[in-house]
Structure 1
Amino acid sequence: MQKIPTMGLGDPQASFRVYVAKRPPMQEYADLTAVQSLCRGEIDSINAACGNGWRKLFNVYSKLLFALDPRQFAFSQQASSWQQYRDQHLLQQRSNTALLFSPPELNPAEATIHIIAGRTHAKHLLNQGLAAQLNWLNQEFAIDTSNRLLVCPYFDYRQLNNEKIVRLSELIKRLLM
């Protein structure tokens, strides 16, 4: 796979990374060439400008972080609810979270969790040369334990509902064992 600069929103040093195919269709993000941390209120601005799909993505991302084992991840200890975490921490500087629009840079020596949101996006990345050995667990979830990589349904309530968020959090826990 040709080296593409890591582009997205969030903490440039994040070890919890979610990959989606498209960036918010806003002028502010059209020319991203790196990972840009969000400021408080910026998620609300994206939601207002880009609609319900982005609101769902940010909500599901926050709900997932709150479903993770607090002995492994401190996200749920930083806010009293997933909504508060979304508004005050998600994708901000030093949040340890990123939403990326470029392919994963896999390095088994790093303790980074990589989550590709959407089977179609994952298959596209594989066709482009992503060096992953995915083991498909079912039609929706795949895992590559050596690269700490997961594929899950897209971050939308209908595709990644609460039950599937719990399943994804269990798979993340498995990656860290």
Structure 2
Amino acid sequence: MSGTGFGDVNARFRVYLAAPPAMEAYQQLSGMQPLQAGDIDQIYRHCGNGWRKIFNVYAKLLFALPPTHFDFAPSASSWQQFRDLQLLQAGSGTALCFSAPQFDKEDVLHLIAGRTLAKHLITQGLEADLHWLSSEFAVDPTRKLLVTPFFDYRQLNNEKISVSAKLLQLLAEQVSEIERFLVGSSPVGSTG
């Protein structure tokens, strides 16, 4: 089962949000619905700048991942082009889910956007062993799960996108020493 949301039914990278855009067409989603070219533009035209930020941060994060481990954006010349031509479409390997993570496939990376949502999912029965690296970032290496700030420029700025990309790389490599990375760097989320 792939959950409910937008994107590739076989996505290897899944981001989780609490709810879909407030558009009638998306209120009764069942399963994974691949977006088509132009759908992202239509969503933020109807639902506001908040959704533009979500899609932009998602594309920027994927574009920041090292191509040696991730092949999400190799054919795009910019994160904007990736967002407009590939993000959340069939065959993209990406999904934006509005249901709880399902850890039934080992090769899938999961990212919960926002500490509040992560804590809510835990209280609703999500089985995850989150290790909080700071007040904003948590990992469950066994389930390849990362919790980041919400996908908004103020909460997940360029510096935090870089930290997120590094943590995702470590999760993908199954490195159990994620804290070792953080010991040598400034505290995660210490700057705005």
| TM-score class normalised by the smaller sequence | over 0.9
- What corresponds to 2:49 in structure 1? 52
**2:122 alignment partner, SS class:** helix
- 2:68 is matched by which residue type in structure 1? R
Per the TM alignment, residue 74 of structure 1 is displaced from its structure 2 partner at its CA by 1.4
Does residue 167 of structure 1 match 2:163?
yes
CA distance in 1, matches of 2:68, 2:35: 26
CA distance in 2, matches of 1:176, 1:34: 25
| Equivalent pairs, count | 173
CA distance in 2, matches of 1:76, 1:30: 29
- What corresponds to 1:148 in structure 2? 144
TM-score (norm. length: structure 1): 0.95
Larger RCO of the pair (alpha carbons < 8 Å, separation 6+): 1
Per the TM alignment, residue 78 of structure 1 is displaced from its structure 2 partner at its CA by 1.7
Query: Is the CA contact (8 Å cut-off) linking 1:5 and 1:102 kept in structure 2?
Result: no
Counterpart of 1:137 (choices 109, 133, 140) is 133
- What corresponds to 1:101 in structure 2? 98
CA distance in 2, matches of 1:119, 1:41: 30
Give deviations 1:79-102, integer Å, cap 9, x for gaps.
000000000000000000000000
Per the TM alignment, residue 67 of structure 1 is displaced from its structure 2 partner at its CA by 0.4
Q: Structure 1 residue runs of 4+, over 6 Å off?
A: none
Instruction: Report sequence identity in percent.
Output: 55
What is the root-mean-square deviation of aligned Cα atoms in Å?
Answer: 1.1
TM-score (norm. length: structure 2): 0.88
Unaligned runs of 5+ in 1: none
Unaligned runs of 5+ in 2: 174-192
Counterpart of 2:7 (choices 7, 10, 13) is 10
- 2:172 is matched by which residue type in structure 1? L
